[in-house]
Amino acid sequence: MKKIVLILSVLTLSVVSNSCSDKFDEIDTNPNSTDKPLTYGIFNSANKELMDNTRDEWQSGRIVLPWVQYSAQTGYTEEDRYQYRLSTGVSLWSFSYRVAQDYKQIIDLNTDPATKVQMNVYGPNENQIAAARVMLSYVFLTLADSFGDIPYYSFGNKDADFQALNINGTLQPKFASQQKVYADILKELKEASEMISTNKAVFTQGDGLFGSGEKLKKFANSLRLRVATRVKGVVPGAEGHITDAIASGVMTSNADNVGLKYEDNLINPSPLFDNFRTRTDFAISKTFVQLLKGQTGSYGLDPRLFKYASPVGTTQKQILNGTSVESTDPADFNGMPYGIPSSLTASQTETANFFSKNILKPGYTEVLMEYSEVEFLLSEANGWSQANYTKGVKASMERWGVAAAAINTYVNALPAASKENVLTQKYVALFMQPYEAWADYRRTGYPNTLLKPGQTANLNVPTTGGQTTYTFTSLISGLTDLPNRLYYPTSVQTLNTANYQAASAAIGGDEMNTKLIWDKN
């Protein structure tokens, strides 16, 4: 009897096994996956990852945001004094290439004959490709501005040096020269702009960045104007791109601003707000407050001060609840002394200012580029035009909700347009866009109100032990001004050694004081 049962059991198992084998492909398929992903989903995910990282408490809050002295840390000031954590640079590099791979996937899906018809359901193929090319240009611009020579990918240029994003073929890509990267970014932005159907959507749904082909085109041309201005006199043809970008149509009002608006909840809030819920590490820099109060420079009291910063004494809870009160009394704003030794921070925090509730809110919009910057770029292109200069200041103030009467009072008292005045006002308008402010300072040397290594500045009172001044001291040997670049990531040095060494030699050394090709300051 036992033998009969055993035989029947084996036969049953055999039948079941064969049946399962026949349906193995069906069983092994994940019902939640698809071979035709939603391109607008990839686009939104990539955009969010891009802004989550470049505007978070690490890549922004502990590197460039304080370096350009929009902020100062309230506790650990080593990064303010340029000794940043190398892991932060590794993160900037790795997530940037992940995001770039996502944008490339959108291009691949819209060009592959096997998928492009399906992708057209989510938006015109050419508009989707153009959007991906523009965002790739944005990502690679940040990488090149931060590091120098980089592994690079181009949709429209098959240069043998462009080996990035080919994970199936090249795991150790070459580093393309800055000359080639910037020249190709300009070409990519021009070609992307020209392929856009302005009377059609970019994506049929889910597009929180552009919405229309017309807005995408203005962004592409405005970004090209930014890049061409950066590399004019260095990259051949840049001046022609300035003229062509303007003629092709740049931003003309704040309605054209491009930014990622976060959800107004605690599930997907803006990155700095999310950090502020548990930590209070960042305050408005005293250097910046002094400029806005008219204590440095020659611009008088800037009403954007009251929009950018919270009054002294505003609590973390009030900002998180959105109940903090706006003050228009300049005496309520001191700023946090920039670059002080960590031992002095405790004596300074009570008289410092947090960012305002206009910034520290879950639904904050992180701006990629705005109309006011375009007007400052146009002022420079037009020989420091007064008209563009004043339009740029007005546009910035209007975006931040400054009252019309206060705008008119401030603008009417502005000193005449000049290189210094235009670029200083551009710096004020670029608040919370620190990567661009950092690049512009390295290119131009403005604003000239920033605290430099070796200079002495005042602490806020009261202070401990009677000390009222301090000397800003760089923790990186050889840096006598703002850092010129970031170190190449340690992961790249280990995993792509030969190409890292070649790139390091090509740029003049993997150091923070190595200047990029357009750094004329």
- State the CB neighbour count (10 A cutoff) for residue 368: 23
Q: Could you please report the per-residue DSSP string of 67-127?
A: HTTSEEESS--TTTTT---HHHHHHHHHHHHHHHHHHHHHHHHHH-TTTHHHHGGGS-HHH
pLDDT value at residue 18: 46
For 207-251, write each residue's pLDDT tens digit: 989 999 999 999 999 999 999 999 999 999 999 999 999 999 999
For 121-133, write each residue's pLDDT tens digit: 999 999 999 999 9
pLDDT value at residue 11: 37
Collapsed DSSP state (helix, strand, coil) of residue 463:
coil
Rounded to two decimals, the pTM is 0.93
Tokens 């290189």 belong to 419
CATH of span 271-471: 1.25.40.390
pLDDT value at residue 521: 81
CA angle 43, 175, 61 (to 5 degrees): 55
CB 156 within 8 A of CB 188: yes
Collapsed DSSP state (helix, strand, coil) of residue 456:
strand
pLDDT value at residue 206: 87
HSE, CB side, 13 Å, CA atoms: give it for residue 197: 12
Token output for 64 = 């460039």
CATH class of 39-62+85-267+487-507: mainly alpha
pLDDT, one tens digit for every residue, the chain (521 residues): 433 333 333 333 344 344 444 554 554 555 555 567 899 999 999 999 999 999 999 999 999 999 999 999 999 999 999 999 999 999 999 999 999 999 999 999 999 999 999 999 999 999 999 999 999 999 999 999 999 999 999 999 999 999 999 988 899 999 999 999 999 999 999 999 999 999 999 999 989 899 999 999 999 999 999 999 999 999 999 999 999 999 999 999 999 999 999 999 999 999 999 999 999 999 999 999 999 999 999 999 999 999 999 999 999 999 999 999 999 999 999 999 999 999 999 999 999 999 999 999 999 999 999 999 999 999 999 999 999 999 999 999 999 999 999 999 999 999 999 999 999 999 999 999 999 999 999 999 999 999 999 999 999 986 556 679 999 999 999 999 999 999 999 999 999 999 999 999 999 999 999 999 999 88
pLDDT value at residue 467: 77
Q: What are phi and psi of 437, to 5 degrees?
A: -65, -40
Angle, to 10 degrees, between the axis of helix 125-147 and the axis of helix 39-54? 20
pLDDT value at residue 5: 37
Same topology for domains 39-62+85-267+487-507 and 271-471, yes or no?
A: yes
Q: Could you please report the per-residue DSSP string of 222-261?
A: HHHHHHHHHHTTTSTTHHHHHHHHHHH----SGGG-EEEE
How is the chain split into domains, by residue range?
39-62+85-267+487-507, 271-471
CB 300 within 8 A of CB 294: yes
